[in-house]
Amino acid sequence: MVDLPGPRAASARPEGNPAALSRRGLLRASLASAAVLLGGGALAGCGSAAAASDPRTVRMWDLFSGADGALLDELIGVAGPDMPGTRVERTVLEWGPPYYTKLAMASAGGRGPDVAVSHMSRLAGYAPLGLLDSWDTGLLAEFGVREQDFADAVWNRTQYRGRTYAVPLDTHPFIVFYHPDTARKAGLLTGAGDLDLDAFAGPERFVEAGRELAKASGRQGIAFGYVNDTAQGWRLFYGLYRQTGNDFDLPVGGRVTANVDAMTEVIAFMRKLVDGRVNPRRLDYPAAIAAFTNRQTGMILSGEWELGTFRAADPEVGAAPFPTVFGTPAVYADSHSFVLPRRPDPDEAHRRRTHQAVAAILKAGQVWAKAGHIPAYQPVTRTRDYARLEPQSRYAVAADHVVLDPAVWFAGAGSDFQNSMSQVLQRAVLDGLAPDRAARAMVDRINTALSQPSPA
Amino acid sequence: MTSTDVRTRPARRTVSPLPAARRARPAVQRGPNLTLGAGPLARTLALAALAVLAVIWLLPMFWAAFTALKSEQDASDPLHWIWPQGGFTLDAFRTVIERGDLPLWMLNSFFIAAAVTVVTVAVSAMAGYAFSRTLFRGRRWLFTVTMASILVPPQLLIVPWFQQMLTLDLVDTYAAVILPQTVAPAMVFILKKHFDTIPRELEEAARIDGASHARIFRSVMLPLSRPMLAAVSIFVFIGAWNNFLWPFVSTSDPALMTLPVGITAVKDAYGVQYAQTMASSVLAALPLVLVFVFFQRHIVKSVATTGLGGQ
Amino acid sequence: MSTPLASPGRPRADRTPRGLGAAVRRALPPGLLFALPFLVLFALFMLWPMVQGVWMSLTDTSLAAHEPSFIGLDNYTEAFGDADMWRAMWNTVWFTVVSTVPLVAVALAMALLVHTGLPGQWVWRLAFFAPYLLPVGVIGLLWGWLYQPDLGLYNHLLQAVGLDGYAWLSDESIALYAIVIATLWWTVGFNFLLFLAALQTVPDHLYEAAALDGAGAWRRLWHVTLPQLRRITGVITVLQILASLKVFDQVYLLTKGGPNGSTRPVVEYLYDMGFTGYRLGYASAISYVFFAFIVLASAVQFVALRRREK
């Protein structure tokens, strides 16, 4: 290692011949000299693993762990015959802001995965950044996936400047799960065996129903895991806020228009839901799942994506759309969709393979419905097989009233915005911050976010 | 604090770090009566205090291993939280190893840490020699700039580094992870101070024979510096092996991740599994802890000589 | 500083010099050639990013593909008015205060106890130093598990002795301290080893003289050992302060800066702004604000250390 730098290092001297070297070239040359030090330029030759991988492999990033993770493996397996010769290689990354941070950074670097799962609510922030490539709708149609196969409301969110940047896989609402025996004992089931949503229609009734459930379970009523969670607080809040008939008007560079009274009412209600007496107080996400699966509680407020986990613990587990507590039906939801991380010079054949794989996965959506998700590709939900799915068919109506996060660049699943909102909510719910002050704190934070220049 | 900070901790003028061996006398020889007193009460109290501290410090590691040996059900059973109802099992370890990415990340960590160590020690030793033994225009000035840069925390460079890697089209490559870590002004300083302590007479003979600097460096200075180079290498290696922030920022491709980044960023598809999480932790901790068990003396010496950045 | 050699010899021409490499060798003094590999890396990965960082902080550079435009000092103006940044700054300072004290004091106590020469040296050193060798990823997973509110070891232990458990990482009032405890466990061994090495340099004759004067164990500790360690304690404290100021890893892994930003340090804030929020330019500005702070803190400590040594 004591040998002097080789000939290539000479060009790294800034005083050498500056005119002939661009800044970039200079850097490259200097890097080369560093590489020579490492032994014959082996280092500079180290590309990413992507470069070396099998051309028949479609590398996919997703955020599905838990029951969803296992099911996606199955889904890909079922889709296999529809994408002959293609192998889909999954990487599961930590859900939340870290996932979208990594996805953005990988896309910026141009060596990202071939395809990635993204929440539809993130597209408003993502597409304008130039971090995504658009889908070739012609190619998708060739593989049997067309615009008319999706609900308009869903498809509209995939568009940016006339191009399609997302292919939706599902809609996944935030709903309620319950143990039917406990609910029956609490007198909360209708004759048909459905959850009696009327018993939950109103803040007081909801809390009262929780009390009944606590009595029936012998321990506690309704679980909700939110402590230190980056999204749960917001999911519950935003769905309920939209039930009050209000919305946020979010002009970037301006100030938010919101109904602070309605926000206060919703926060006060959330607080009652985790009072620590009828309902467990200090649950983080996994602890809430444990509380429900251990039958410590009779019900849980949760995304339908946990269906697999719950069914493993209680094969009879019931589900219902999130009850309309504040008058206007609204169910918080999002949509998992496929996006193409930016590639400076995409390989056409490989892109084609990627389109084919995604189309195949959509068409096998019946498997995905097993996880609880409502498949976005409608030819699947129109089948009789789908209608027979229990308890999925019981909350499929939730899809009629879904609300997604506001379409503004800083919002969406896994955004810092959701996290920041959830933290204010946690302070109100757990640490005694007064609901009206929490509402105003949220408005302040929204205004701060609006005042920041959009990075696009 | 990150474990790598120490690599670039600030250093200032003052005496050169004496190799620990030279100044250290075996503590046992001194005997307790010099520092503690010979009374059995004092000894017992000290021993009790040590034992309590050691239990507190060993407990987390023990608990990690203990959890890893349970089944998932037993690991998350709030009622029987000590003894597993279903007995002990190696399932968690088996699952984690079969998944295959842990060994890959270990390999990445090893390759990256080794590359960082080789480059850092080589260029720092050469630079240390240049600053200690040669004259050239601007030497003093360059040395001052190098020393001043010890103050620059690498944490604050992550944004421009990332931008630089975008410019060079190196995001998600080994080169991007390795290269920024090889700049260690503190190591240059330590090695320069070390070379300063080597008596000049030793190289005079070679010089009279007309040996070049390269020759003197290679056949006089390096052989005399083996313990110091070993200490510096161990230190740099540990720092690079455990470095988190920059590898975390510069790699998104799981196939390129290092151990500390991979085990936290990549989830398996089956949710929160405490036994498996702890099994990964135990496996990830094992290499360096094992090395420490076998080479305790060297590592202790490395920290003692290098840890103060030349103070 | 030692006097460098007055007459650096030229490399012996034992091969026929050819090509650019040889030309460089002829053109440059050998000393510079030795320093060159380091200087190239230094220029590329230290000077260049520092200059580029200044430039970026004056632009609206983002992760987006658009060309950045020059916006003057807007980023700095925004940073100085950014309550979240000041909060992160305060978290960092407070973390530094509450972590440095135990990281120095406990390390010193451990070193003093181990140095007494009690049996089991090997075990003590392993117990106290081994955690330092764990990758921080393991620290995140392990302490996340120990602190788990319902299933974690610490709450089980507290409940076993009849106390209430804590929401260690989700209670705003204690999360930072929970991270300090994890940090203490993780890195105290490093300072411990430095103290241990320093203790071994205290000359025996001081103890012997004190013993002849009839000084007991406590008096020897107060009048011989600790005064002898004064300088090294100052140095370790300074290094610890600088290290604590740069905290990021374990906070990010344990709480992501939460709950409600109560543990988010500056380094995480700039990560969040730069990468999660795509605003590389703004993050650069924050880097430089914090850098100025670190330089200032270093200068103060440097002066304090000097004064004490006099």
Contact yes or no for B263 and C240 at CB 8 A: no
DSSP state of A174: E
Q: Do domains A59-169+335-392 and A173-333+415-451 have the same CATH topology?
A: yes
Whether the pLDDT of residue A398 is over 50: the answer is yes
Whether the pLDDT of residue A46 is over 80: the answer is no
pLDDT band at A308 (very low <50, low <70, confident <90, very high): confident
List of chains touching C (3+ CB pairs within 8 A): A, B
ipTM summary value = 0.86
Q: What angle do CA C71, C291, B307 make, to 5 degrees?
A: 150
List of chains touching B (3+ CB pairs within 8 A): A, C
> For residue range A246-283, what is the model confidence (pLDDT) as tens digits?
999 999 889 999 999 999 999 999 999 988 888 888 88
- Direct distance between the N- and C-terminal alpha carbons of chain C, in angstroms, rounded to an integer: 21
Highest mean pLDDT, choosing among A96-105, A116-125, B112-121, C15-24? B112-121
Q: With contacts defined as CB-CB under 8 Å, which chain A residues touch B267?
A: 65, 69, 92-95
Nearest by CB to A37, which of C23, C37, C150? C37
Whether the pLDDT of residue A42 is over 60: the answer is no
Tens digit of each residue's pLDDT, chain B (311 residues): 333 333 333 333 333 343 433 444 444 444 444 555 557 787 888 899 999 999 999 999 999 999 999 988 888 777 888 888 888 999 889 988 888 788 899 999 999 999 999 999 999 999 999 999 888 888 999 999 999 998 888 999 999 999 999 999 998 999 999 999 999 999 999 999 999 998 888 888 888 888 888 888 988 899 999 999 999 999 999 999 989 999 999 998 888 999 999 988 887 655 568 888 999 999 999 998 888 888 888 888 888 888 776 44
Instruction: Give chain C's residues under pLDDT 50.
Output: 1-17
Contact yes or no for C65 and A130 at CB 8 A: yes
Q: With contacts defined as CB-CB under 8 Å, which chain C residues touch B47?
A: 118
Specify the CATH architecture of the domain B5-31+101-306: Orthogonal Bundle (1.10)
Specify the CATH architecture of the domain A59-169+335-392: 3-Layer(aba) Sandwich (3.40)
For the residues A151-171, what does the mean pLDDT come to? 89
Quick one: tokens of A247? Answer: 């919305």
Domains of chain C by residue range: 76-309
pLDDT of the residue at B86: 85
Nearest by CB to A286, which of B166, B174, B272? B272
Whether the pLDDT of residue A34 is over 80: the answer is no
Residue A413, min C-alpha distance to chain C (Å) = 13
- Whole-model pTM: value is 0.81
Domains of chain B by residue range: 5-31+101-306
Partners of A333 in the β-ladder: A173
Q: With contacts defined as CB-CB under 8 Å, which chain B residues touch A3?
A: 214
pLDDT of the residue at A388: 87
* Contacts of the segment A139-146: beta carbons below 8 A, 24+ positions apart: A139/A351, A139/A352, A139/A355, A140/A167, A140/A355, A140/A358, A140/A359, A142/A355, A143/A355, A143/A356, A143/A359, A143/A360, A144/A359, A144/A363, A145/A358, A145/A359, A145/A362, A145/A363, A145/A377
Contact yes or no for B252 and A72 at CB 8 A: no
Domains of chain A by residue range: 7-38, 59-169+335-392, 173-333+415-451
Higher-confidence residue: A220 or C218? A220
Higher-confidence residue: A215 or B296? A215
> For residue range A318-327, what is the model confidence (pLDDT) as tens digits?
999 999 999 9
pLDDT band at A345 (very low <50, low <70, confident <90, very high): confident
Contact yes or no for A129 and C170 at CB 8 A: no
DSSP letters for A205-241: HHHHHHHHHHHHHSSEEEE---TT-SSHHHHHHHHHH
CA distance A230 to A424: 11
Whether the pLDDT of residue A167 is over 50: the answer is yes
pLDDT of the residue at A364: 92
Residue C276, min C-alpha distance to chain A (Å) = 5
C74 → chain A, closest CA residue:
A453
Q: What is the CA A363 to chain-centroid distance, rounded?
A: 21
A129 touches chain B (CB under 8 A): no
Nearest by CB to A104, which of C167, C260, C278? C278
Nearest by CB to B281, which of C8, C142, C216? C142
Topology (CATH) of A173-333+415-451: D-Maltodextrin-Binding Protein; domain 2 (3.40.190)
C260 touches chain A (CB under 8 A): yes
Q: Which of C28, C34, C224, C237 to mutate to test the interface with B (most CBs of B within 10 A)?
A: C34
Contact yes or no for B166 and A286 at CB 8 A: no
Nearest by CB to B254, which of A47, A91, A309? A91
Contact yes or no for B242 and C136 at CB 8 A: yes
Lowest mean pLDDT among A378-382, A423-427, B39-43: B39-43
The domain C76-309 having CATH identifier 1.10.3720.10: the answer here is yes
pLDDT of the residue at A10: 31
**Is the link from the previous residue into A391 a cis peptide, with omega within 30 of 0?**
yes
